[in-house]
Structure 1
Amino acid sequence: MLPFLTQIRLEDVSHEYTELTKKVLQGIENLSRLREEDIEIGATPKEAVYREDKVILYRFKPMVEQPLSIPLLIVYALVNRPYMVDLQEDRSLVANLLKLGLDVYLIDWGYPSRADRWLTLDDYINGYINNCVDFIREKHGLEKINLLGICQGGAFSLCYSSLYPEKVKNLIVMVAPVDFNMPNTLLNMRGGCTLGAEALDVDLMVKSLGNIPGDFLNLEFLMLKPQQLGIQKYLDFPEVMTSEDKLLNFMRMEKWIFDSPDQAGEAYRQFMKDFYQENKLIKGEVMLGDKRVDLKNVRMPVLNLYAEKDHLVDPESSKALEKYVGTEDYTVRSFPVGHIGMYVSGKVQRDLPPTIVDWLKARM
């Protein structure tokens, strides 16, 4: 007989089985009461104020009588959906910024289709972002607005601020990759930061697939932590099911994780090759149309926010920004969480919004 079997008492097994059964039954009861509208994400009231192709610019309803005169535009990544910044009422970066007096806009990139196969980074940055910025500037009668770029949207916002510094009053980047030569980070290695096309033949992918399927990218991210993200959270699900609040939180996160738009083929090709494989952003070699991105042109005040335990964007990648921007007003703040924790951690949601608002108010 195997030794460990002699250490298991029948009454212990029976007790654990009984407790598990109770949790599953309670969970099934909670699930039976759950409705689709209960898993609503992005509940903060907003209005679509500008549309172009599949892109929608939203303005959130202000929560104070007189919001700050210079609005804030949030530029999210093309990967996943931007409602992560407005996940639920008590975990919403947007809602907390509104409560503190900001006027907040958000770009929703939509869901690229086969018709968008040839969209480039030039289209996204010199086109869509610039048009959204111009719309806000005209609406408010301003020369400059504030910009908040998140994750890949942070890299986009750096490019935009380099090309159009006359339109950006203050720049905030959050969990944004800057230096992509991070050989100790799985995502950068997978993207080819050391081996280039030998690690990932982007040209072959785009030639074969056209647009890059969102499900492929989602699986890639999940496989960076297969035990935690692919197995353990489901083993913990019986415990989660017993609490209606925890169950709703779990379902909202699952909804966001698996809501992954496809990526326009040409934009994906350039981002992977120019940023991940050739690290052109910090070299001043990224070309968007006929314009060259030089981070030394980023001379407006910059606030750099990063997550200390980030497994998607290495903290060192984000912290490198200070060496390349031209501004003399540079501030960096870190938070002891992972990438997703920047959006959903209760402690971060308590501290992050005031950090942003106080920094902006000091530079009005």
Structure 2
Amino acid sequence: MTSPWLRRGPRPLLLHLGLAAARAWAALGAIPGPLMLNHPTPARSNGSATGLPSWNPALPRSKAGRQEAARITAALAAGGHAPEAFHAAVLRVLRRQDAALLNGVAGYRRHPQRREMAEPPVVWAEGGSRLLDYGGGDDGPAVLVVPSLVNRADVLDLLPEASCLRYLAAQGARVLLLDWGTPGEAERGFSLTDYVAGRLERALLAAADLTGGRLVLVGYCMGGLLALAVAQRRPKQLAALALWATPWDFWAEEEAAPRALATLLPALEPLLEATGTLPVDAIQTLFAGLDPFAIGEKYRAFARLDPTSPRARRFVALEDWLNDGVPLAAPVARECLAGWYGANTPMRGAWRIAGEAVTPARLALPAFLAIPSRDRIVPPAAALALAPLLPRAQVHRAAAGHVGMVAGSTADAALWTPFLAWRASLPI
């Protein structure tokens, strides 16, 4: 990245700007009475002296919109407030919010923060994947961390003052990270079986050989599902299993929304066929559906920060990580959307790797389940579903969000220290 203005994000930008505009129109649509819309027309219409169409209260609205309009009308009348003044106040708020969003995006794009941390040594590689050695001591079993396939592993090594992996190593744990890399020609044809029974299994064996002992295998988010599956295949190489914000019951909170994701597959097929992957912007669009207006609120808040503050620096580092995503191999995208989300295959015992069902009850290993209480990516109930299925599970409730648990300002207390305490309690 040679210039701050080359920074991308929030991705896809047009989607998030469109969502902000839709939010504003939704607010305007609930306002009763005359309202001058801010879109010029070629000629005067509806008797407007300005050439702008005036709001027609007879235009169709949804039932909810009509109810909200009636509520606002009654409230204005009861308070003796002029509708025109209310209209003007709403427009002022919307304009301030739009300006704050644009200022936040511009401030992010020109922020001087750059990733300048030295990369750990590579001790094993295959295709685009690498095993990185963060060093550390020989205090207990070595730790092998498996991140998600759809984001880079950088979130676990975000900043010198916000690096989960460097913290664990500094506290005496030998730490290794599997960096999946970007799908190349070979990986674009990979299924979940290829990743788990192939790439991950070989990385695990290499890590065990390097460290000379059994490992604590850690999986974060989607990486937890992959770690669970490989643990079933290679229990003799493991001392324990840790799953951080790992979903299992994809329908734990509701069935309709996850199943709706599966119905998008036909529309995504042209992209999958053309590129061999589910591209980053498509993945980001799917995630945006979880909380459509969160990005706008986040960037408005960033616009209020002192850009030189540690908080602003951490925000930019996290956004750089989010916006520098990784495409998902097309076969994996189909398995995840149709299987995990559309059919809830893990919870139903129907998710298979190399023909064998992934069955948590078969794992006799000590297990540490870190469940973020404010997780909007993996609802806590989806991750908690694993607790009764793993015979030796210890549940840790982390007072954080999905990303904040591993990289936030309170990550030390939320996850890092409790994880180390659990690891220290393991029988050697």
Normalised to the residue count of structure 2, the TM-score between the two structures is 0.71
**Is 1:191–1:272's contact at 8 Å kept on the other side of the alignment?**
yes
Shift in alpha-carbon separation, 1:357–1:246, aligned structure 2, 3 A: closer
The corresponding residue for 1:96 is 167
- 2 CA distance for matches of 1:242 and 1:361? 39
**Is 2:371–2:397's contact at 8 Å kept on the other side of the alignment?**
yes
Deviation at 1:178, TM superposition (A): 0.8
Q: Which moved more, 1:260-269 or 1:51-60?
A: 260-269
The corresponding residue for 1:340 is 403
The corresponding residue for 1:116 is 187
Deviation at 1:286, TM superposition (A): 2.1
**Is 1:114–1:211's contact at 8 Å kept on the other side of the alignment?**
no
Deviation at 1:140, TM superposition (A): 2.3
Q: Count matched residues.
A: 335
- 1 CA distance for matches of 2:256 and 2:299? 23
In the TM superposition, what are the counterparts of 1:1-364 in structure 2 within 5 Å?
2-4=84-86, 35=112, 38-40=113-115, 43=117, 45-62=119-136, 66-142=137-213, 144-184=214-254, 188-192=258-262, 198=263, 200-201=265-266, 204=269, 206-207=272-273, 210-229=276-295, 231-325=296-390, 327=391, 329-363=392-426, 364=428
Deviation at 1:241, TM superposition (A): 4.5
**Is 1:54–1:110's contact at 8 Å kept on the other side of the alignment?**
yes
Q: Which moved more, 1:203-212 or 1:159-168?
A: 203-212
Deviation at 1:136, TM superposition (A): 1.4
**1:39-92 Cα deviation digits (max 9, x unpaired):** 216x36511110000111101132xxx432421000000011111011112222
Deviation at 1:277, TM superposition (A): 1.9
- 1 CA distance for matches of 2:292 and 2:300? 13
- 1 CA distance for matches of 2:199 and 2:88? 67
Q: Which moved more, 1:248-257 or 1:119-128?
A: 248-257
Unaligned runs of 5+ in 2: 1-81, 91-95
- Amino acid aligned to 2:202: N
- 2 CA distance for matches of 1:228 and 1:153? 24
- Amino acid aligned to 1:188: P
Normalised to the residue count of structure 1, the TM-score between the two structures is 0.82
Deviation at 1:183, TM superposition (A): 5.0
SS in 1 for 2:181: coil
- 2 CA distance for matches of 1:267 and 1:166? 27
- 1 CA distance for matches of 2:306 and 2:275? 39
Deviation at 1:287, TM superposition (A): 2.1
Shift in alpha-carbon separation, 1:322–1:207, aligned structure 2, 3 A: same
**1:298-325 Cα deviation digits (max 9, x unpaired):** 1100110011121111101111102222
- 1 CA distance for matches of 2:413 and 2:205? 32
SS in 2 for 1:217: helix
Deviation at 1:224, TM superposition (A): 2.2
Deviation at 1:343, TM superposition (A): 2.2
- 2 CA distance for matches of 1:173 and 1:70? 16
- 2 CA distance for matches of 1:284 and 1:123? 20
**Is 2:253–2:379's contact at 8 Å kept on the other side of the alignment?**
no
**1:131-175 Cα deviation digits (max 9, x unpaired):** 111111112222x21100000001111111122222221000000
SS in 2 for 1:296: helix
Shift in alpha-carbon separation, 1:140–1:31, aligned structure 2, 3 A: closer
- Amino acid aligned to 1:353: W
- 1 CA distance for matches of 2:344 and 2:259? 12
- Amino acid aligned to 1:316: A
- 2 CA distance for matches of 1:320 and 1:362? 24
**Is 2:142–2:173's contact at 8 Å kept on the other side of the alignment?**
yes
Shift in alpha-carbon separation, 1:178–1:356, aligned structure 2, 3 A: same
- 1 CA distance for matches of 2:132 and 2:331? 26
Deviation at 1:203, TM superposition (A): 8.2
CA RMSD of aligned residues (A): 3.0
- Greater RCO, CA 8 A, separation 6+: 1
SS in 1 for 2:162: coil
- Amino acid aligned to 1:153: G
- 2 CA distance for matches of 1:147 and 1:202? 37
Identity %: 22
- 1 CA distance for matches of 2:417 and 2:321? 25
Deviation at 1:267, TM superposition (A): 1.7
Deviation at 1:244, TM superposition (A): 4.0
